[in-house]
Amino acid sequence: MFYSDKETLSEAGRLLLVVHGGIGRNIQATSVVRAISEKFTKRALYVIAGCPEVFLKNPHIKKVHNMSKPSYIFDDYFQDNRTIMMNVEPYQHYDYIYRKKHFIECWCDMLDLPMKKLEPEVFFNIAEMDIAKDYLSKFDRRMILIQHQGGKIPEQKNKKSRILAKTGMYRRNLPEHVTQKVVDELIKMGYMVGSVNHENQFLPKGAEHIKFIPRATTALVPLVAGIITIDSYLLHASACFKGVTPTLALWGGTDPRVLGYPWHKNLVRNACPTPMCHRPNSYLFDHEETGFLWDCPHNDICMNYDPDFIIQEFKKLMKEAGNDKREPKGKQRKRTPKADEPKTKEQDHPCGKAGVACPSKGIPAKEVSAGVGAN
């Protein structure tokens, strides 16, 4: 329970939410911000975050601070004894560790907040959206955004650095050869492909490098034809526009039931005895006897998708969303989401859990689409 004492709450006029982590986690935090605002209607909410631009123009927040340069925080917030700091670690929540609740719900639980809505939210003004539309208008084809790598940024622009970067986090990056084949096929289908990646990460040949600040990239999400992403920033950015842009999410070492969104089309691979293992887990001291973080004994097979399968499932997704009826070739069309636009229908799952395949042991290595059993 979080400060259930009424006297403490009555004396505090300010709440300060601390948001650690990368861009994706900062976007998830916007759901928590909304929940705080709904419960504490008479208290001002301030945020200190690693990616403050995510919270700009958010009507629930009075002020946001950059964690890298948190000037005068103590002087401004704690000298008068009127600020409650809200700083918890959802990755260490019991129900997250054992995959009983979504990460965002665990975050809310730790702050004693009811979670009414899962979806995150980012707010833009008209000028920001007009700039995004203007950027896309220069292409004569509709764009598909793809993110194939996430997490730790490689220290240098070479393959060795990219390999070292991925060993220190959950197994979620798509192999470079798979990414290239997917991009090649999308281009053959008549699409422009925008690759969302850091300059030190692999850039597929033929793809447009999307290297804007995260806020500007997020503004592109509701305007593009579709999205293919791993468990990283673009997944959460797409979730901010629920039901607007068809999104295919590729999962491996992490579980869509606790980190994903049911309105996306979630694919998982039951390719080893411990699918969606969430390792290496630095929050749970996941080190081997050598002192190094745990390393996958199965050579990251969970993310070694068949490119043809990815394209096959993407075509199905586009057909379900009605986007396949519009010819990709030709002048880029500016798509305005409709308020009553139908959402992708979730299929029933044999486990009773929509959006994810059975994680049972003994299932041969194969790709499984959301709601489809691994038989």
**CATH architecture of residue range(s) 127-368:** 3-Layer(aba) Sandwich (3.40)
pLDDT score recorded for residue 198 = 82
Q: Return phi, psi of residue 343, to 5°.
A: -95, 155
Rounded CA gap, 324 and 344, in Å? 14
Based on the number of CB atoms within 10 Å of its own CB, is 197 exposed (0-12), middle (13-18) or buried (19 or more)?
Answer: buried
User: What 3-state DSSP class applies to 265?
Assistant: strand
pLDDT score recorded for residue 171 = 76
Spell out the domain ranges in the chain. Answer: 6-110, 127-368
pLDDT score recorded for residue 166 = 67
pLDDT score recorded for residue 111 = 95
Q: Tokens in use for 230?
A: 């791993």
Name which of 19, 41, 42, 45 is nearest 107 in CA terms: 19
Averaged confidence pLDDT in the chain: 84
Counting as low any pLDDT under 50, the low residues of the chain are: 1, 330-375
**CATH architecture of residue range(s) 6-110:** 3-Layer(aba) Sandwich (3.40)
Model-level pTM?
A: 0.83
Rounded CA gap, 77 and 87, in Å? 14
- 36 touches 15 (CB < 8 A): yes
What are the strands of the beta sheet with 367-368, ordered from one edge?
Answer: 208-210, 192-196, 143-147, 226-230, 247-250, 265-269, 367-368
Question: Are domains 6-110 and 127-368 of this chain identical in fold?
Answer: no
